[in-house]
Structure 1
Amino acid sequence: MTTAPTSTAPTPSGPAPTPGSTPPPVRSGRRGVGAPLPLRAAAFLVALVCALPLVVVALKAFEAGAGDAFALVWRPRVGELLGNTVSLVVLTCVISTVLGVGAAWLVERTSLPGASFWRIALVAPLAVPAFVNSFAWSALVPGLEGLAGAVIVTSLSYFPFVFLPVAALLRSLDQGLEDAARALGLGPWRTFARVGLAQVRPALLGGVLLVALHLLAEYGALEMLRFPTFTTAILDQFEVAFDSRSGSVLAVVLMGIAVTVLTLELLARGRARHARVGSGTVRRATRTRLGRATSLALLGLTTLTALAIGVPAWSIGKWLSRADQAMEPANLGPTLWSTLALGLVAAVVTTVATFPAAWLIARSRSWFAVAVERVTYLAASLPGVVVALALITLTIGLVRPLYQTATVLVVAYVILFIPRAMVATRAAIAAVPPELGDAARTLGDRPVRAFLRVQLPLMLRGTMAGFALVFIAVTTELTATLLLAPTGTQTLATAFWDASASLDYAAAAPYAAALVVLSAPLTYLLLHGKNEEPLT
């Protein structure tokens, strides 16, 4: 029996090994391997910036002592706010999951006609801000308010966060696993429930997490629908009662809810790997024939689209028809430009800032990586007004020249919307096998060059989806922009809010229409910014 000769070719990590020795391993980003120090330092810096509002809020809440803080918490009003907030999050997340997963399955896994059209139609609601949607529904149904109104509006506004990632994965999952389940006797419905849903679990959980975090920080839509939550109560304490301490105490309770949500998502996600090397024998999934149920499925998706898009389109159209003399067109130009500039800058900065933490959580999954990710998510659960006031406190006390500058506003956007980029970027990184980087480094590339040449191009399309999500969020952000925008700077969202707050819907209509038109093209990135073949 002969022994294969040992290769003596030099490796990029050192001189040629001696015969019979084991070549030195190439360090990679696989789980269990330590991440480079610069990457960890960058992730720590991002987490530190995101943690600043959390620290300021906690210090402000307990500045009069823990006893007074707990006394403020143990009040009937706080119990009512807690019940409202939890009810809204639970109901909206459940409805968004049903709508998002059901619509994704119909579009990607059945014989439903017009799949390309439905992909666009079911993502389009993201172009309509929730507070614009609430105005539209209030005009259509004047008595719509409270929990029922809030659940309807937020579900129709946020279900695309679930539909988008689930549809992307269902479009290219390996049919082999489902074939095996069918061969074992499972029918199409049980196969999807037991195999398909298990494969899309990471995407589903990421979408539901985004929905929950948005609900915890939502203000405009809930204020219009007269449904009090912790976020609306916090703003009331700051603006009406001028009581920053009580508002900070409420914010700490809100942070506790966010910690619970983040912990549940982390436990449900598990530690399974979601990448493989090569495409193997992946085959396009066989579509389930709907037969007589086709008409019912088309009716359901048509109704959902009409409620999510048709109602706000009708309302904005009605306002525009009365807006001929409500405002001069010149007022719209500077507002549109400032919105576009802030959106682009904030989206680029947020996407870049997301990479270190997303890389760590997708590759190493160490306690450090998890802590960094959780801190960014926790900070994003704070209402915009709380983040804005914390940054005002810090800039006035420490770096006064930055007070009321665009730099501070962009930092606020990064803190508030980094989870949007994190979910997309983390999924894009996880879908690229780390062995590709190993191979590039074995062939002589240094780590940075290997990343730029081999891995980044494969991640770029998924990352652009996160960019689009952040851009849409920035253009529609309200409370932080009202407080932090430099003097004379106005965005489409704040201009719409100012006009609608005085019940001048005709003057608000052009701004609402501009918000939709500006956000609509970004749905292309959301639809085509995913990897064509997510690896599971």
Structure 2
Amino acid sequence: MTGGRGRSGDGGRRPPATLVALVVVLAAVMLVPVGYVVATVVEIGWAELAELVFRPRVGELLLNTVLLLLIGVPATIVLGVGGAWLVERTDLPGRRVFAVLLAAPLAIPAFVASYGWASAIPSIHGLGGGLLVAVLAYSPLVYLPVLATLRGLDPALEESARSLGDGSWAVFARVVLPQLRLAMLGGGLIVALHLLAEYGAFAFVRFDTFTTAIVVAYQSTFAGPAAASLGVVLTALCLLLLVAESSARGRGRYARVGSGSPHPAVPIRLGRATAPAIGALTALVLASTAVPLASVLRWLGAAESSAFADLGATVLQTALLGAGAAIGATLVAFPVAWLVGRFPGRRVRVLEAPYYVASSLPAIIVALALVTVTLRLVPALYQTVFTVMVAYVIVFLPRALVSLRAGIAQVPESLEEAARSLGVSPLVARLRVTVPLLVPSIAAGAALVALGAANELTATLLLAPTGTRTLATQFWSAASAVDYPGAAPYALLLILLSIPAVGLMFAQARGWRAR
């Protein structure tokens, strides 16, 4: 919502030089994987690169990846927006229960969901299988931010539109939907980046994308030219996504002063649409949560006692790595989000782009880039926890950055100006006024990062110190050997470990109006 921002970056101010310098330095670190790909391509040479790129196999992978994006991202947006609107703005029976269940798939890693579907229906494969698993697994990444935004919208705007004769659909299209643009674009961008970089979920259903092909190529040749050329195409796709999202985002303001109308929105009566709405949401919940969970429990019942050995140490290591990644990503994302939120413009968007570019690359490319850099420049950091943390931050930073960016955009800058007018320094004003209002955004972003780190597979396998055992790597070791019962305990623990983080994110989304 517009209003309350006072002067902005579009009004002529320049960002502090120290802030810009910090963002540039961090961007340089984030671009290490991209530099690795570029350096590898230079070593290959343009002639050989052209032969590698312009071949039928690359065309097939490009078609698969583009179709995945063109169908998958809109599908997650439709499911996320539709589900959030039904539970937040209508008289849907059981909407509080559905509100929780629609966020539940986020607690099931995509590769675990794929494991569940593949073991339940072995014939599932290809684009259809990939879309089914990805859309069901990633739709909560759109649902939660949209739900939070709906909770924060002033219902008086919708009531005014209805008083002018607009029906429910017209109010949704003309009043509600434009206010959801940041949440939809941010969530859609995260989904798209996940689809570009996902490996495990698609490997289970035998769907080839650039990422699965790159992993196979790196496994066979470590850092061969074929894999590097595929990485170049994947990076180009990411750049196109970033340009499209940045253009669609625009320069609109969404902050407001005050809490708006003191009463909650009057639920819209669904009438004859009640039964279809309940049926659609029930089918979505069953497909996204019940099927994978049932498969995990079925295989868990067949697991031998040896499958439960060393679970405690594995959980502890997973939790520690996830917490470290969440702290690191939040610290790195904050200055970038502040720059974008307080000083928007084309130059700032250029500085923001590197933070998404590297994250779009498969985690295995990020890991191999860090392996190369550490071995050549700082051998002491090779296969250390520090290197693992750097990889996690690079891969999962958009989760923290998008959340923080949206939070800062919705905090009126005039609140800081009011505090400074009372004699408080700018730093103290931000710490006392702005940061407390950003706690929900910080918590949501940190939880998303921790979830991603706990579920990360390829980077952990390649970078972690010898002897490191996480739930994801142990699960993959068993599942890839078709030991489904042996993988089940780790799959269940991955789900259980994710539930508190998902609960926190859901609570923050539902509690937006309390801010």
* TM-score bucket of the superposed structures, by smaller chain: over 0.9
Match of 2:23 among 32, 40, 43: 43
Superposed, 1:5-20 pairs within 5 Å as: none
Q: Residue 468 of structure 1 contacts residue 526 of structure 1 at CA under 8 Å; is this kept in 2?
A: yes
For the residue of structure 2 that corresponds to 1:198, the secondary structure is helix
1:263 counterpart = 2:243: yes
Could you list the structure 1 runs, at least 4 aligned residues long, displaced by more than 3 angstroms after superposition: 26-32, 280-283, 530-535
State the one-letter code of the partner of 2:298.
K
Query: 1:122 maps to which residue?
Result: 102
CA distance in 1, matches of 2:322, 2:101: 23
1:518 counterpart = 2:501: no
Match of 2:65 among 76, 85, 98: 85
State the one-letter code of the partner of 1:71.
E
Q: Residue 120 of structure 1 contacts residue 523 of structure 1 at CA under 8 Å; is this kept in 2?
A: no
Shift of 1:450: 1.1
CA distance in 2, matches of 1:115, 1:445: 45
Superposed, 1:494-505 pairs within 5 Å as: 494-505=473-484
Match of 2:387 among 403, 408, 423: 408
1:471 counterpart = 2:450: yes
* Range 516-525 or range 365-374, more displaced: 365-374
CA distance in 1, matches of 2:169, 2:115: 39
For the residue of structure 1 that corresponds to 2:325, the secondary structure is helix
Superposed, 1:386-425 pairs within 5 Å as: 386-425=365-404
Deviations 1:286-329 (A, max 9, x none): 21111232222222111111111101110110111011324243
* Range 375-384 or range 164-173, more displaced: 164-173
Q: Residue 174 of structure 1 contacts residue 283 of structure 1 at CA under 8 Å; is this kept in 2?
A: no
TM-score (norm 2): 0.96
1:150 counterpart = 2:127: no
Superposed, 1:353-502 pairs within 5 Å as: 353-502=332-481
State the one-letter code of the partner of 1:383.
P
For the residue of structure 1 that corresponds to 2:242, the secondary structure is helix
Shift of 1:28: 7.6
Shift of 1:48: 1.3
CA distance in 2, matches of 1:397, 1:48: 18
1:249 counterpart = 2:229: yes
- Report % sequence identity: 48
Q: Residue 106 of structure 2 contacts residue 140 of structure 2 at CA under 8 Å; is this kept in 1?
A: yes
Query: 2:304 maps to which residue?
Result: 324
CA distance in 1, matches of 2:26, 2:271: 52
Q: Residue 40 of structure 2 contacts residue 225 of structure 2 at CA under 8 Å; is this kept in 1?
A: yes
TM-score (norm 1): 0.92
Query: 1:14 maps to which residue?
Result: none
Query: 1:76 maps to which residue?
Result: 56
Over the aligned positions, Cα root-mean-square deviation in angstroms equals 1.8
Q: Residue 151 of structure 2 contacts residue 510 of structure 2 at CA under 8 Å; is this kept in 1?
A: no
Deviations 1:204-242 (A, max 9, x none): 111111110000000001111111110011111111244
Query: 2:276 maps to which residue?
Result: 296
For the residue of structure 1 that corresponds to 2:165, the secondary structure is coil
* Range 40-49 or range 297-306, more displaced: 40-49
Query: 1:23 maps to which residue?
Result: none
Q: Which has the higher helix share?
A: 2
CA distance in 1, matches of 2:509, 2:431: 19
Q: 1:280 to 1:167 in 2, by over 3 A?
A: closer
CA distance in 2, matches of 1:241, 1:475: 28
State the one-letter code of the partner of 2:322.
G
Superposed, 1:143-182 pairs within 5 Å as: 143-182=123-162
State the one-letter code of the partner of 2:413.
P
* Range 34-43 or range 176-185, more displaced: 176-185
Shift of 1:533: 4.5
Shift of 1:532: 4.2
Q: Residue 404 of structure 1 contacts residue 486 of structure 1 at CA under 8 Å; is this kept in 2?
A: yes
1:309 counterpart = 2:289: yes
Query: 1:286 maps to which residue?
Result: 266
Shift of 1:531: 8.3
* Range 293-302 or range 375-384, more displaced: 293-302
Count of matched residue positions in the alignment of Structure 1 and Structure 2: 510
Deviations 1:358-407 (A, max 9, x none): 01111111334212221111110000000000010100011110000010
Shift of 1:243: 4.8
State the one-letter code of the partner of 1:220.
G
State the one-letter code of the partner of 1:134.
S
1:205 counterpart = 2:185: yes
Query: 2:321 maps to which residue?
Result: 342
For the residue of structure 2 that corresponds to 1:90, the secondary structure is helix
Q: Residue 32 of structure 1 contacts residue 364 of structure 1 at CA under 8 Å; is this kept in 2?
A: no
Structure 2, unpaired ranges of 5+: 1-5
Query: 2:3 maps to which residue?
Result: none
- Tell which structure's C-alpha radius of gyration is larger: 1
Q: Residue 461 of structure 1 contacts residue 528 of structure 1 at CA under 8 Å; is this kept in 2?
A: no
Q: Residue 411 of structure 2 contacts residue 437 of structure 2 at CA under 8 Å; is this kept in 1?
A: yes
